[in-house]
Amino acid sequence: DVKVTQSSRYLVKRTGEKVFLECVQDMDHENMFWYRQDPGLGLRLIYFSYDVKMKEKGDIPEGYSVSREKKERFSLILESASTNQTSMYLCASRSHRGNNYEQYFGPGTRLTVT
Amino acid sequence: DQQVKQNSPSLSVQEGRISILNCDYTNSMFDYFLWYKKYPAEGPTFLISISSIKDKNEDGRFTVFLNKSAKHLSLHIVPSQPGDSAVYFCAASLLGPMYSGGGADGLTFGKGTHLIIQP
């Protein structure tokens, strides 16, 4: 079974703090993604990576950066957290081999910025 | 502008009956569609998908129908069970399984429909 893990289930941070969200997958997937989920807005893509050290902006990259130094790990960084970044953050991974576009999601990190 | 729309925020269905969740899209370049199910405090889990070259895909109690001319897809759950109560997300991709380039574009999700199965 594919396993995607996220470093924290719940986080509370103060405005202006630097926040790191970590994601690890164990299936040797090339592609990894960060989404945020907000009520009434569904899931929105923040950044994705299709290989080590490669990254691409998604639909809402402002206020975020990412790092992918190893294939299995994809980090989301909030340089200076703000209250409008309070959200559920979901990491996903996918292999670009095969015949489907299924993405496997981690359990999510509920981040609250006060 | 929302490219994938789920116009029903919630749907209530009696146990044992059919649940029909609808999804519309505007981008005709989408060629692969997926349904995800999400429980509170968990990540979404993949349910079923369909390529644009098909109009139906079935997996156990779940069937997805695609009407390309109407840019509409639907998920049918028969019979509905209490464990089906969850939020269902429709998602679309620009790069379907026929693409061999390994593109990693993220999925475009709808806002979700909260399905409630009544006992």
- φ and ψ of B83, to 5 deg: -70, -10
- Count of residues in chain A: 114
Helix, strand and coil content of chain B, in percent to the nearest 5, comes to: 5, 50, 45
Residues 6+ apart with CB under 8 A from B60: none
Chain A residues whose beta carbon lies within 8 Å of the beta carbon of residue B95: 101
Closest of B116, B107, B119, B118 to residue B39, by C-alpha? B116
* Residue tagged 């050290």 (tokens): A53
Say whether residue B94 is in contact with chain A using an 8 A CB cutoff. no
Q: Which of B2, B49, B111, B113 to mutate to test the interface with A (most CBs of A within 10 A)?
A: B111
Nearest CA in chain A to B39: A107
Nearest chain B Cα distance for residue A74, angstroms: 14
Residue B30 to residue A1: CA distance in whole angstroms: 28
Per-residue pLDDT of chain B (119 residues; tens, 9 = 90+): 789 999 999 999 999 999 999 999 998 888 889 999 999 888 999 999 999 999 999 999 999 999 999 999 999 999 999 999 999 999 998 765 444 444 456 788 999 999 999 99
User: Does B107 contact A44 at a Cβ distance shorter than 8 Å?
Assistant: no
